[in-house]
Structure 1
């Protein structure tokens, strides 16, 4: 399928997805729809076991939403766009393969919301993170108010959301928004290295792990433990589980097939 704003390269079972929408790789309806379609394709692709999402250029990961598209929308039009956004971000968050956001430069508004949908985030040392929506007379509408508080806690989340001011990559690391900060020259190489390590793990176990973590984080403990047990049983029933345990006993590298 042809994509207007997304470029995808697949190597070593890792899909590198680059948002290429000049200027600033901003999000609009077409980008959201393309992200949803691409996630569906990558989930069905057995040659892909991990995904890296980044932005084109060196200045921005995603510098927010395309305000030009939004400024004249009526209430119903904005409701429709919000639903498209929610579907797209939820698809990224819940795809059954690990996703790494390689944040090169600015992650503003919807760009930060997109990064929060990834399982892991690596930032270049020049990256900046912000929720500027309050300064436009609105609030984040792509899950930002909810996902950020799970990472940083209520106090820090409210500081970011209420003031709308950018923070540095180092501050984002201190707040657990990102997992690692590297120089911009090393960003993609580091993200690919992480993704290739994840791609070597047992695919079904990785899928069940992600399901247990993502679903369990939104329910009470007893329900979460039931979810974990069910996910564990699903992973244990695979050929890969037998291969992994046999490889450990035989002191060799496992060969996972996703079965």
Structure 2
């Protein structure tokens, strides 16, 4: 289960992920995010959105336990495509979304953060796509967005090693805009949202629309290929072993 609180003040909407202890991106949490975007569209007065996580993490990833309830390759491909559609909506939203990241943004959590327009991070936050540790691959367009921010070589290193980088290194690599001490980071993100909210609504929307034209035209094709590969990966014995090992908190014993 998961929920998202929604608060609007001075044309800034603050959305807070609430799914303790790690704000795992369950289906219910993703549905809540979609519903909050609907609310913002209906409101019509919001000029900036601040997205953050409650507790110790921004989001430590997808809800792995939920994966075990799916039955076949098609189910996993559909799950991937639905997540991609939501994160595409985030990326193409007419209101700028600022991710304020503390603790960790891993797996699906990083994929969500990468879909946001601006990222501020705590210096000691952890960023990574560790899916290969479980015998699977990123499924919410992580293989497509990460290289766009850090370059192909760094993206290969992060995904193939499953190692994370700090918020400070994420700033150096171009994955986040700025990194701060954690308490300063939230203040800075709120200040930026307030600054944006003072601008003209129509000009904000124009900038949001125009910058979207710079997206790589192969992004859609690559994301579709990722969704299909995500489904295939879950059909392997290595995926079953990896997920079981994760649930049992042990190191996986991959056969292939």
Q: TM-score, normalised by structure 2?
A: 0.81
Match of 2:107 among 103, 106, 109: 109
Partner SS, residue 63 of structure 1: coil
Residue 91 of structure 1 deviates from its aligned partner by: 1.4
Change (3 A) 1:4 1:128: closer
Equivalence for 1:250: none
Determine if the alignment matches structure 1 residue 148 to structure 2 residue 150.
no
Equivalence for 1:211: 209
Equivalence for 1:54: 52
Residue 43 of structure 1 deviates from its aligned partner by: 2.5
Q: Which moved more, 1:120-129 or 1:197-206?
A: 197-206
Partner SS, residue 60 of structure 1: coil
Structure 1: runs of 5 or more not aligned: 221-259
Determine if the alignment matches structure 1 residue 70 to structure 2 residue 61.
no
Determine if the alignment matches structure 1 residue 168 to structure 2 residue 166.
yes
State how far apart, in whole Å, the 1-side matches of 2:137 and 2:203 are. Answer: 37
Q: Answer with 1 or 2: which has the greater Rg.
A: 1
User: Which 4+ runs in 1 deviate beyond 2 A?
Assistant: 215-220
Query: Relative contact order (alpha carbons < 8 A, sep ≥ 6): 1 or 2 greater?
Result: 2
State how far apart, in whole Å, the 2-side matches of 1:17 and 1:201 are. Answer: 21
State how far apart, in whole Å, the 2-side matches of 1:4 and 1:164 are. Answer: 26
Partner SS, residue 64 of structure 1: coil
Residue 4 of structure 1 deviates from its aligned partner by: 5.1
Partner SS, residue 79 of structure 2: helix
On the 8 A contact 1:33/1:84 being kept in 2, the answer is no
Partner SS, residue 133 of structure 2: helix
Equivalence for 1:100: 98
List per-residue Cα deviations over 1:127-185 (Å, max 9, x = no partner).
11010001111111001110111111111111111111111111101001111111111
Alignment of 1:4-23 (within 5 A): 5-23=3-21
Equivalence for 2:34: 36
Aligned length: 217
Partner SS, residue 58 of structure 2: strand
Alignment of 1:174-185 (within 5 A): 174-185=172-183
Partner SS, residue 139 of structure 2: coil
Equivalence for 1:233: none
State how far apart, in whole Å, the 2-side matches of 1:23 and 1:212 are. Answer: 38
List per-residue Cα deviations over 1:209-254 (Å, max 9, x = no partner).
121112222249xxxxxxxxxxxxxxxxxxxxxxxxxxxxxxxxxx
Q: Which moved more, 1:38-47 or 1:170-179?
A: 38-47
Partner SS, residue 62 of structure 1: coil
State how far apart, in whole Å, the 1-side matches of 2:212 and 2:9 are. Answer: 27
Q: TM-score, normalised by structure 1?
A: 0.80
On the 8 A contact 2:124/2:168 being kept in 1, the answer is no
Equivalence for 1:251: none
Structure 2: runs of 5 or more not aligned: 219-256
Backbone CA RMSD of aligned residues? 1.6
Equivalence for 2:77: 79
